[in-house]
Amino acid sequence: MTATVPAVPAHSPGSPALISFRNTVKHFPGPDGGFTALGGIGLEVAEGGFTAIVGPSGCGKSTLLAIAAGLVEPTSGEVLLDGRPVSGPGPDRGVVFQQYALFPWLTVRANVEFGLRTARVPRAERRRRAQHFIDLVGLADFADALPKTLSGGMKQRCAIARAYAADPRILLMDEPFGALDSLTRSQLQEQLLQTWERERRTVLFVTHDVDEAVFLASRVIVMASRPGRIDRTVEIPLPYPRTRATRLTAEFTALRTELWQAVQRSEPTTRPASEATQEN
């Protein structure tokens, strides 16, 4: 039996942030002056929390995550991981995208072991760690299968096991369940929470699905667009472990409504982008 534990705050005042965005701006150059995707993001995420980022399409959620992953360079400002500036991808950040990005020629086990092999982890230890996460995501019977024989949900479970196995400080997830049917999606949400509760690895999770954000996160960042910025933060004080029954509680419904309203208020106006970008 698991004990009920309180929601972990995404950032407790006074505790050092694991990842910090400091006035992070991203401008994509182009004709007509280009486009300011992020207009100066300030965000601190403490170790161990589950933070979701929601907001209207095009508000810069993926750009924010890609900057944290070191895949996109900010135009100005910086991102610090453990106090050190992020200057490119690294094994301290595990990334899971909507598209599974598994190596099609490798088995589930070899995919999960991939990062460990690159990090020159000895074979026995590699095996042990990979098996632990393959078991945790429920793929034990498919460890020797190739990705093409797996369903979408199984591929994504494999991608999550691979990200965890590499032992990153933080998991950056960009709509990882976006391509899945709703039943598989809710099963994977529950499984991801079980894994997170067990491993307590910090997660930054982009989604456009308000229910998903409320179910998973201890804190939800609501972004607005033109330029992309943080509009507000909604704490989700639902205790963990959260289960199927959590979705049926009055607290869940109330938080879902609150978050919906926050997202609706953050929808872009019809003002011209050139005018709106003056704001920040």
Ligand X SMILES: Nc1ncnc2c1ncn2[C@@H]1O[C@H](COP(=O)(O)OP(=O)(O)OP(=O)(O)O)[C@@H](O)[C@H]1O
CB nearer ligand X, residue 175 or residue 190: 175
In the complex with ligand X, the residue whose CB is nearer, 243 or 269, is 269
Q: Is 22 helix (H, G, I), strand (E, B) or coil?
A: strand
> Cα 197 to the chain's mean position, in Å?
15
Tell me the closest approach of the beta carbon of residue 66 to ligand X, in angstroms: 7
Judge whether 174 and 209 are in contact, CB under 8 Å. Answer: no
How far apart are CB 226 and ligand X at their closest, in Å?
Answer: 9
Nearest distance, CB of residue 68 and ligand X, angstroms: 12
Contacts of 99 (CB under 8 A, 6+ apart): 179
Q: Which residues are at the interface with ligand X (CB under 6 A)?
A: 28, 35, 37, 55, 57-63, 208
- Which CB sits closer to ligand X, 37 or 220? 37
| Smallest separation (angstroms) from ligand X to the CB of 39 | 11
Contact 137, 96 (CB under 8 A): no
Neighbouring C-beta atoms of residue 228, cutoff 10 Å: 26
For β-strands 202-206 and 35-46, DSSP reports them as unpaired
In the complex with ligand X, which residue's Cβ is closer, 59 or 188?
A: 59
